[in-house]
Amino acid sequence: MNVSDAILKRTSIRKWKPAPVEKEKIEKVLEAGRRAPSWGNTQPWRFIVVEDKTKREELAKAAGGQPVVSNAPVVIVCCGSIEDFSRKMQRQSLKQLMEVGALDWTDDVLDNVVLESDLFAPYRLGEQVMTIKASEQIMIAIAYMTLEAVNQGLGTCWVGALAAEDSHKIMNLPDNLFVHDLLPLGYPDEDPKSRPRKPLEKITFWGQYK
């Protein structure tokens, strides 16, 4: 299946067959997330695969009792790492890009110009800004995973409505990580029609907004 076909075929699945999902397919979905682009190659995502029924039910409760979470054979807990936007980690990521020739900077420029600019300010502006930046990257990775799931004959449903603190406790996460979304995963037991989208000409503008 090519990417265009996966985009057209993808839709939110909320009913699942009881069949377990093969580890190989789960890993291919995770690999798609790993290959997603991220700002400065920070890769601030962490993925926890939950198959245990009791744990899935706890996560469902934290998500307002949504059965799409408790009934799915697999739930991928998508977390963000705040410290990946620290000055140390930013330097490491950008240094790697310099080493492969993606950035034409010297160490002096990196340390004294780039990392002190507003462009790379998240680590200086505090935890809230770093959380926002990490969240942006996580959503890109989840989008990649949803498409690979379609390619593997699986279905997903993006679950963002959840009590983050409760989910954090359920997963026993360290303070430097936060739960951003849940991604239920399994074999679809329904074939819903895609929801209508706004016409392209209503959302696209050439040259300037009109």
pLDDT in tens, the chain (210 residues): 798 888 888 989 999 999 999 999 999 999 999 999 988 788 999 999 999 999 999 999 999 999 999 999 999 999 998 877 777 777 888 888 888 888 888 888 888 777 777 666 665 566 677 787 888 899 999 999 999 999 999 999 999 889 989 999 999 999 989 999 999 999 999 988 888 889 999 999 999 998
Residue ranges of domains in the chain: 3-82+128-188
Query: Is 181 in contact with 159 (CB distance < 8 Å)?
Result: yes
CA dist., res. 12 & res. 25, Å (int)? 18
pLDDT, residue 125, reads 62
pLDDT reported for residue 39? 80
The domain 3-82+128-188 belongs to what CATH superfamily? NADH Oxidase (3.40.109.10)
Q: Which residues contact 148 (CB under 8 A, 6 or more apart)?
A: 6, 28, 29, 31, 32
CA-CA distance, 189 to 15, in Å (whole number)? 5
Output the pLDDT for position 124. 59
Distance, first Cα to last Cα, the chain = 37
